[in-house]
Amino acid sequence: MHPRAIDWVIMGVYFAFVLGIGAALKRTTRTSTDFFLSGRSIPAWITGLAFISANLGAQEVIGMAASGAKYGMATSQFYWIGAIPAMVFLGVFMMPFYYGSRARSVPEYLRLRFDEKTRTLNAVSFAIMTVFSSGISLYAMALLLKLLLGWDFGTSVALSALIVLVYIFLGGLTSAIYNEVLQFFLIVFGFAPLTLLGLRDIGGWHGLVAGLETVSVSRGFSPHAWLSTWSVMGSPKDNPMGVEWLGMVMGLGFVLSFGYWCTDFLVVQRALAADSMDAARRTPLIAAVPKMLFPFLVILPGMIAIAATVHGGAGGLHLPHKADGSLNYDMVIPLMLGRYFPSGMLGLGLTALMASFMTGMAGNVTAFNTVWTYDIYQAHIVPRASDHHYLVVGRIATAAGIGLSIGAAYLTSRFSDIMDLLQLLFAFVNAPLFATFLLGMFWKRASGHGAFAGLIGGTAAAALHQGLTIPTGAQPGIKGGWIAVLHHYPSLMAQNLWTAIWAFTACFLVTVLVSLATRAREERALVGLVYSLTQRQRSAGQPWYARPAVLGAFVLLGALALNLLFW
């Protein structure tokens, strides 16, 4: 790939805008609340776009295109049942607790609802996850820049980290949010032409269907396996993902989905920055609308690429192979950028690709500096200091988080299948955490001892399940089976979904049992934190189309229609 002058100009203008936004917002960042929560002053449409953009990191853009090639249309369930219902639930039911309690972070809500030890356990595990996730985005970006542009790996890491550091250091969360809005539009306009040009190259929709039928039959599935969702979920053997409908509904649609979208502070932080309770509730609902359509932006290119490859490479498009002979699905987006985009458009596509990595990294860093400052430093190290002191600590934490991310990026380079490992971490951390939140918000009898024991029990159950199962064809080790192999899963994806189910179930049961055996908090201390003790949010005076419940209903109907269309 050989960018020309116009491509370098486009990328240069983008980086100038990114840094300029940080510099322009520096004067508005005077307090720790400004730095960590944007002073709770951002309009709903901006927080909504930032909410979705913060999730558009390396895993989304590169990973979903790769999964589209590998698993077909079933990958869309990461959006239609793996995100939309949870985003609606967050906006309609959970945001009143988060925003109304004035909690500055998800771990702080756990302290208000349960106790300090539960908060600390979640804060430490979340901080580790954010550093690791940020490092993966940084590693993936540097690797692609080296591959596509010939840049040195170390130079790519340093440049990317420096740019993210500067604009977050200057403008805090506000800078990250406004840059995420810019990056959202860049990603949409940078990648949308790939789908259109790829479809034209392969012969339109009918050409894609014919190619995917060939793919399905050549892999031993029914002809429509790569273009269907639910109709091939009757058995793990009927679809390339190796997942049956129960594992999909419970593992992805319930546990992992709600565990991420309803409890992960990286996305919840964007809603907490909204300027009112109504804006906070609308934030995930606004984000859900483009989220429904993103499969056509990031998954469909992967399906086009695999269909073209099987057909012998329409227009010269061929997926490369790895050293072991398997297809390198991660190269879908870079390959299509180089194949279809001329000068100028190539610069836009590369800028969109870099923007996706930077949003993933920046989102994790802003979540890390908030949790570190409020839930670890202020809670346990220096509890009574001035607001300016915590603002300074937040900026230092930003630099430290970037430094740790660089270390994680180099550590990542020593492992294979790191994206699968990250999904496994979500099963270990987010799945049991959702059980804790579900009981905490809707069962006033849940106690602090129960929540703490439940989180430990859920994580232990995930480890036990992982240690006793393994994907077919894998060797005992990081992918499982390190205790004994009692069961083989058709794919690593299926194993991760069931790991999440076991983690959630164990946490739920342990929390209930320990809570019944221990003393619950007095009801007066739970007002505003538990559903039955919280005043219902009224939408009187708002136009019907702006009410969260109505918005949520329309979003769910849209997701249902898409599921039926690709049944």
Q: Which of 229, 62, 122, 5 is nearest to 451 (CA)?
A: 122
Q: What is the pTM of this model?
A: 0.81
Spell out the SS3 assignment of 351-390.
HHHHHHHHHHHHHHHHHHHHHHHHHHHHHHHCCCCCHHHH
Residue 227 pLDDT: 82
The answer to whether 299 touches 67, Cβ cutoff 8 Å, is yes
- Give the amino acid at 135: G
- C-alpha span between 529 and 94 (Å, rounded): 10
Q: Which of 548, 532, 536 is nearest to 439 (CA)?
A: 532
β partners of residue 274: 42
Residue 461 pLDDT: 94
DSSP code at position 488: E
Q: At what angle do helices 204-218 and 300-310 cross, to 10 degrees?
A: 70
Q: Which of 484, 486, 430, 423 is nearest to 241 (CA)?
A: 423
The answer to whether 375 touches 119, Cβ cutoff 8 Å, is yes
| Three-class secondary structure of residue 123 per DSSP | helix
- C-alpha span between 303 and 215 (Å, rounded): 10
Element housing 489 (H / E): strand 487-489
The answer to whether 85 touches 559, Cβ cutoff 8 Å, is yes
Q: 369: exposed, middle or buried (C-beta count within 10 Å: 0-12, 13-18, 19+)?
A: buried
Beta strands in 240-287 (DSSP E): none
- C-alpha span between 338 and 162 (Å, rounded): 27
Determine how many CB atoms are found less than 10 A away from the CB of residue 461.
23
- Give the amino acid at 507: C
Determine how many CB atoms are found less than 10 A away from the CB of residue 9.
13
**Alpha-carbon distances, residue 372 vs 57, 86, 366, 394, 427 (angstroms):** 22, 26, 10, 8, 23
Residue 465 pLDDT: 93
- C-alpha span between 377 and 379 (Å, rounded): 6
Structure tokens at 10: 């486009």
Query: Per-residue pLDDT for the chain (567 aa), expressed as one digit of tens each?
Result: 677 788 888 888 888 888 887 777 777 778 888 777 776 778 888 888 888 887 776 667 777 888 888 888 888 888 888 889 999 998 888 888 888 777 788 888 888 889 899 999 989 988 888 888 888 777 777 777 776 677 777 787 787 788 888 877 777 777 778 888 888 888 888 788 888 888 888 888 888 888 888 878 877 788 888 888 888 778 878 777 777 888 788 877 888 788 888 887 878 888 888 888 888 888 889 888 888 888 888 888 888 888 877 665 555 567 776 666 666 777 777 778 777 887 777 888 888 877 777 777 778 888 888 889 989 999 889 988 898 898 899 889 888 888 888 888 777 655 444 556 667 777 888 889 889 988 998 899 999 999 999 999 999 999 999 899 988 877 887 778 888 888 888 877 788 888 989 999 999 999 999 999 999 888 888 888 888 877 766 665 667 667 888 888 898 998 899 888 888
Residue 182 pLDDT: 82
Q: Which of 480, 474, 518, 520 is nearest to 502 (CA)?
A: 480
Determine how many CB atoms are found less than 10 A away from the CB of residue 120.
18
Side-chain-side CA neighbours of 529 within 13 Å: the count stands at 25
Phi, psi dihedrals of residue 540, rounded to the nearest 5°: -60, 140
Domains of the chain, earliest start first? 5-202+263-414 (1.20.1730.10), 421-535 (no CATH)
The answer to whether 455 touches 121, Cβ cutoff 8 Å, is yes
Q: Tell the residue number behind the tokens 């790895």, with chain if given.
A: 322
The answer to whether 50 touches 244, Cβ cutoff 8 Å, is no
Structure tokens at 333: 């987006």
Alpha helices, DSSP H, located in 44-152: 44-53, 58, 64-71, 77-80, 84-89, 95-100, 106-113, 116-149
Structure tokens at 487: 């069961």
Residue 416 pLDDT: 45
Structure tokens at 374: 């409020």
